[in-house]
A and B are shown apart, each in its own frame.
Chain A
Amino acid sequence: MKRREFLKASTASAAIASMPWNPALGQARRDTLLAISENGPNNLDIHGVGTNRPGYEASWNVYDRLLTFGVKKDAQGQDHYDYTKLEPELAESWNLTPTSVTFKLRRDAKFHDGTPVTAKDVKWSFDRAVTVGGFPTFQMRAGSLEKPEQFVVVDDNTLRIDFLRSDKLTMPDLAVPVPVVINSGLAQKNATAADPWAMEWLKGNTAGSGAYMVERWVPGTELVFRRNDDWKGGPRPALQRVIWRTIPQAGNRRALLERGDADISFDLPNKDFNELQGNQRLSIIGTPVENALQYIGMNCAQPPFNNVKLRQAVAYAIPYQAIMDAVVFGRAKPMFGGRPQAIDASWPQPHPYTTDLDRARALMAEAGFPNGLETTLSFDLGLAGLNEPICVLVQESLARIGIRTTINKIPGANWRNELLKKSMPLITNTFGGWLNYPDYFFFWAYHGQDAVFNTMSYKNPQMDKLIDASRFSNNQAEYEGLVKDFVRLAFDEVPRIPLFQPFLNVAMQRSITGYRYWFHRQLDYRQLVKA
Chain B
Amino acid sequence: MLTLAIRRLMAALPSLVGVVIVTFLLTRALPGDPAAYFAGPAATVQAIEEVRQRLGLDQPLWVQFGNYIGDLVRGDFGTSLSTGQPVGFELATRLPASAELTLLGLLLAVVIAVPAGMVAATRPNGWFDQAVRVTATAGVSLPTFFTGLLLVYVFYYILGWAPAPLGRLDIFYTAPPHITGFYTLDALLIGDAETFLQALSQLVLPALTLGIFALAPLARITRGAMLEVLGSDYIRTARAAGLTPTRILIVYGFRNAILPVLTVLGMVLSFLLGANVLVEKVFAWPGIGSFAVEALVASDYAPVQGFVLTMAVLYVGLNLAIDLAYGLLDPRVRIES
Residues on A lying within 8 angstroms of B by beta carbon are 2-3, 6-7, 10-11, 14, 16, 19, 21-22, 25, 28-29, 32, 34, 42-43, 48-52, 133-135, 138-139, 203-204, 218-222, 243, 245-249, 251-252, 255-256, 258-259, 261-262, 382, 411-414, 416-417, 420, 451-452
Task: Pick out which of these stretches binds chain A: B214-222, B245-253, B283-291, B314-322.
Answer: B283-291
Given contacts A248-B284, A420-B36, contact A413 B299 (CB under 8 A): yes
Residue among B163, B166, B201 with the highest chain A CB neighbour number at 10 A: B166
Q: Which residues of B contact A2 (CB under 8 A)?
A: 160-161
Q: Would A416 and B43 be within 8 Å (CB), given that A2-B161, A246-B284 are in contact?
A: yes
User: CB distance A248 to B281 under 8 Å?
Assistant: yes
Residues of A within 8 A of B47 (CB): 133-134, 138
Contacts of B135 in A (CB 8 A): none
Determine whether the beta carbon of B83 is less than 8 Å from that of A219. Answer: yes
Give complex CA distance A252, B90 in Å: 24
Bound CA span A33–B291, Å: 26
- Segment touching A, from B107-115, B192-200, B230-238, B260-268: B192-200
Q: Are B156 and A255 in contact (CB under 8 A)?
A: yes
Interface of A is mostly: mixed
Docked-complex contact B281 and A221, CB < 8 angstroms? no
Assembled-state Cα–Cα distance A221/B38 (Å): 21
What is the bound-complex CA distance between A6 and B194, given in angstroms? Answer: 12
Interface-side segment among B48-56, B58-66, B69-77: B48-56
Taking a contact as CB atoms under 8 Å apart, the answer to whether B40 and A134 are in contact is: yes
Known contacts A221-B286, A255-B152; A3/B161 CB under 8 A? yes
- The stretch of B14-22, B26-34, B323-331 that contacts the partner chain: B26-34
B82 at the interface (CB under 8 A from A): yes
* Contact call A247/B166, Cβ cutoff below 8 A: yes
**Whole-angstrom distance between the Cβ of B86 and the nearest chain A Cβ:** 11
Q: Contact: B164 with A259, CB < 8 Å?
A: yes
Contact B166 A261 (CB under 8 A): yes
Give the complex CA separation of A10 and B161 in angstroms.
13
List the 8 closest pairs (A to B, CB-CB), nearest first. A413-B32, A50-B38, A413-B299, A219-B83, A135-B40, A417-B36, A261-B164, A16-B193
Whether the pair B153, A411 counts as a contact (CB closer than 8 A) is no
20 A-B pairs with CB atoms under 8 Å apart are: A3-B162, A7-B194, A7-B197, A10-B197, A14-B197, A49-B54, A50-B40, A135-B40, A138-B42, A138-B43, A221-B286, A247-B284, A249-B283, A251-B152, A255-B157, A255-B165, A262-B164, A416-B37, A417-B36, A452-B43
CA distance A219 to B89 in the complex (A): 11
Residues of B within 8 A of A133 (CB): 47, 50
Tell whether, in the assembled complex, residue A259 and residue B156 are in contact, meaning their CB atoms are under 8 Å apart.
Answer: yes
A416 to B42, CA, bound (A): 10
**Contact yes or no, A247 B40, CB < 8 A:** no
List, in ascending order, chain B residues with CB within 8 A of A10's CB: 197
**CB proximity of A135 to chain B, nearest CB, Å:** 4
Instruction: Decide yes or no: A22 and B194 within 8 Å by CB, A29-B172, A135-B40, A452-B43 being known contacts.
Output: yes
Asked whether A220 lies within 8 Å of B38 as measured between CB atoms, the reply is no
| Contact of B282 with A by CB under 8 A | yes
B306 close to chain A: CB less than 8 A? no
**Chain B residue at minimum C-beta to C-beta distance from A221:** B286
Identify the closest chain B residue to A135 (Cβ): B40
A411 adjacent to B31 (CB under 8 Å): yes
Taking A248-B290, A259-B156 as given, write out 6 further A-B residue pairs in contact, using a Cβ cutoff of 8 Å, ordered by the A residue number: A6-B201, A11-B194, A220-B291, A245-B171, A255-B152, A259-B160
Interchain CA distance A64-B266 in the complex, whole Å: 55
Give the chain B neighbours of A249 by CB distance below 8 A. Answer: 149, 165, 281-284
Contact of A7 among B166, B198, B291 (CB under 8 A): B198
**Residues 164-217 of B at the A interface (beta carbon under 8 Å):** 164-167, 171-172, 193-194, 197-198, 201
Residues of B in contact, count (CB < 8 Å): 57
Total cross-chain contacts (CB, 8 A)? 168
State the Cβ distance, A53 to closest chain B Cβ, in Å.
9
Given A3-B201, A133-B50, decide whether A139 and B83 contact each other with a Cβ distance below 8 A: no
In the complex the two chains form, is A135's CB within 8 Å of B164's CB? no
Bound CA span A400–B30, Å: 36
B37:A413 contact, CB within 8 angstroms: yes
Closest to B165 in A: A252
A414 and B31 in contact, given A133-B47, A247-B165 (Cβ under 8 angstroms): yes
A498 to chain B, nearest CB (A): 19
Q: Are B193 and A414 in contact, CB atoms less than 8 angstroms apart?
A: no
Provide the residues of chain B in CB contact with A222, threshold 8 Å: 167, 171
Interface core residue of A203, A220, A411 (most chain B CB under 10 Å): A220
In this assembly, does B41 line the interface, its C-beta being within 8 Å of a C-beta of chain A? yes
Which A residues lie within 8 Å of B161 (CB)?
A: 2-3, 6
Bound Cα distance from A393 to B44, whole angstroms: 32
Cβ contacts under 8 Å, A48 to chain B = 84
User: Cβ of B171 and Cβ of A413 under 8 Å apart?
Assistant: no
Given the known interface contacts A50-B40, A248-B290, the answer about A134 and B172 at a Cβ–Cβ threshold of 8 Å is: no
A6 CA / B286 CA spacing, docked (Å) = 25
Cα A43 to Cα B40 with chains together (Å): 13
Contact B166–A245 (Cβ < 8 Å): yes
Which residues of A are found within 8 Å of B44, using beta-carbon distances?
Answer: 138, 451-452
Residue from B33, B90, B149 with most neighbouring chain A CB atoms (10 Å):
B33
> Is B297 part of the contact surface with A, judged by Cβ < 8 Å?
yes
Q: Which of A245, A252, A256, A258 contacts B282 (CB under 8 A)?
A: A252
CB proximity of A13 to chain B, nearest CB, Å:
11
B333 within 8 A of A: no
CB pair B201 A134 closer than 8 Å: no
